[in-house]
Structure 1
Amino acid sequence: MEAGGRAVTAFGRSRTRPPTGWRRIVVRLPIALYRIGLGPVFGKRMLLLQHTGRVSGQTREVCLEVVAHDPLRGSWTVASGFGTAAQWYRNLRHIPKVTIQVGRTFHPVNAHFLSAEEGAELMAAYAGRHPRAARALCRYLGLDDPKDGTDPFRAAGLRIPFVRLDEVPPRRWG
């Protein structure tokens, strides 16, 4: 998807652009809540990703919904609803070592980009846990009507890029 433009999905419907104006303010409101210490309000459902701009070199922040979390492995999986054109996604491609904040806890992580098939499995599992949210996301992105009769969530997962954020193990001194 071009920045500021519209893209046509594989299902033939146009996908919305990233929000601007007052909608952008509403979408970025969770970042402000994290900054004033209210990150725990989101529980483990959202995280704040702090990454480095690939051009500016400045620290950037984006609040993302957690699609999957593995506490034993220390990993969080997020999706780029605006595809590979999302600025945070492009920045992670350039510099995959980032920091996330979940609640009040900061975690250094490395970004790993998942295959389309892994994305399909994740989206199908997410739809099982959060069916209304999954339907709304697919509808918003124009990914809710595959013509070939396949599961719409698996089909959406094949097209949405997913990123697994693996916690960097702490150094052992001794």
Structure 2
Amino acid sequence: MDVIKTPQPPTGLSRLLWRLPIRLYQMRLGFLFGHRMMLLTHIGRISGKPRKAVIEVVEHDPVRGVYIAASGFGARSDWYRNLMAHPKATIEVAGRTLPVTASTFTPQEGADLMARYAMRHPKAARRLCRIMGFAVDGGESDFRAVGERIPFVRLVRRA
């Protein structure tokens, strides 16, 4: 696996396009994304104000109420940094809003997660790696190496 270039979070028109799914959730159309995407509402680490981001669900355990996401722009992604400062948040997924608490994974756990994700969604995994700046050949070892380098977040439903 080669690192092409660490991507920068989007700006300008690109940022507007990345944030378009938030509008769909605000229009009560988030159910269209099913369980693959979720609207994360979190607290800004500097402003203290509510912030929103639509992120992909990497894994979901409905029995334990756990949703897992990866920060494709790394540890400098705003939503990731905000969750590390204020781990209590809410998610909206498949038409339901849930209170959650965020925690992180070790690099080894990230490797396991990325390998499982790549097995379930090979095309999406290759595309995601390309967006994040990684050149992968599709082998499990490549996906494990990517998983060790990107931060994963566990969002556990609060009672």
Q: Deviations over 1:5-47 (max 9, x none)?
A: xxxxx94531221112221111111100000100100000000
Gaps of 5+ in 1: 1-9, 170-174
What residue in structure 1 maps to residue 85 of structure 2? 94
Q: Which has the higher contact order (CA 8 A, sep 6+)?
A: 2
Residues 127 and 145 (structure 1), Cα distance of their counterparts in 2 relative to 1, 3 Å cut = closer
| Counterpart residue number, 1:156 | 146
Percent of aligned pairs with the same residue? 51
TM-score (norm 1): 0.86
| Inter-partner Cα distance in structure 1 for 2:125 and 2:42 | 26
TM-score (norm 2): 0.94
Higher helix share: 2
Shift of 1:104: 2.1
Counterpart selection for 2:32 from 41, 47, 53: 41
Query: Shift of the alpha carbon at 1:160?
Result: 0.7
Quick check: 1:60 aligned with 2:51?
A: yes
Aligned amino acid, residue 23 of structure 2: A
Question: Which amino acid in the other structure matches residue 62 of structure 1?
Answer: A
- With over 3 angstroms needed to count, the CA separation of the structure-2 counterparts of 1:71 and 1:105, relative to structure 1, is same
Q: Equivalent residue for 2:105?
A: 114
**Structure 2 gap segments, 5+ residues each:** none
* Cα distance in 1 between the residues matched to 2:7 and 2:80: 17
**C-alpha contact (below 8 Å) 2:59/2:68 kept by paired residues:** yes
CA distance in 1, matches of 2:121, 2:63: 22
1:143/1:152 contact within 8 Å kept: no
Cα distance in 2 for partners of 1:83, 1:17 equals 9
- Number of residue-to-residue matches in the alignment: 158
